[in-house]
Amino acid sequence: MHNSKARQNFMKECEDAINQQINIELQAAYDYMAFFTYFDRDDVSFPKAAEFFRKASHEEREHAEKLAKYQNKRGGRVCYDDIKCPKKTEFNGLEDAMETALSMEKTVNQSLLNLYKIAEQNNDPALCDFIQNEYLHEQEDAIKQFADYVTQTIRVGNGLGEYLFDKMTLN
């Protein structure tokens, strides 16, 4: 065990849950890199989608860093797990990618809700506040955005519709 001078009212269960969330965010960042590199390929060539997913990867990595800084602030220790190879590195168009991303964001959101519940059960209002203000609202926005994109990519279809979606919607 460690002897942090900053640790106060910070239970091991909360520390472990934060570590789990850090690793989930890093996995999402890695997965979004696969989206980026797929859409950046010359035989796929959706440049706005590539940039959109590159930014999504960067954002997930920032989420992990913010959680790691919070863990240190509270006197916890960051523990990293192995990051697995992305489950999908090829997509059947933008609709498939948006559906996959929507599912990922829902998984991340559920994990954050579980973290919030653990914080509540351990009487940690500071952690509850941090998760709610820094993550939950943003996750709701991301889920809505990807749900909209799924609907829109279905509506426009493949071919020219995807091209126009990439060119005019993703920025």
Contact at 8 Å (CB) between 18 and 115? yes
Q: Is 139 annotated as a binding residue?
A: yes
Q: Is 20 annotated as a binding residue?
A: no
Q: Which amino acid is at 98?
A: M
Alpha-carbon gap, residue 79 to 81, rounded angstroms: 7
Q: Is 120 annotated as a binding residue?
A: no
| Nearest alpha carbon to residue 51 among 72, 31, 32 | 32
CA distances from 110 to 6, 36, 70, 99, 155 (A): 29, 24, 20, 17, 28
| Nearest alpha carbon to residue 97 among 44, 25, 22, 18 | 44
Q: Is 60 annotated as a binding residue?
A: yes
Please report where in the chains the tokens 């060539």 appear, as a residue. Answer: 45
Q: Is 63 annotated as a binding residue?
A: yes
Cite the annotated binding site for Fe cation by residue number.
25, 60, 63, 105, 139
Cite the annotated binding site by residue number.
25, 60, 63, 105, 139
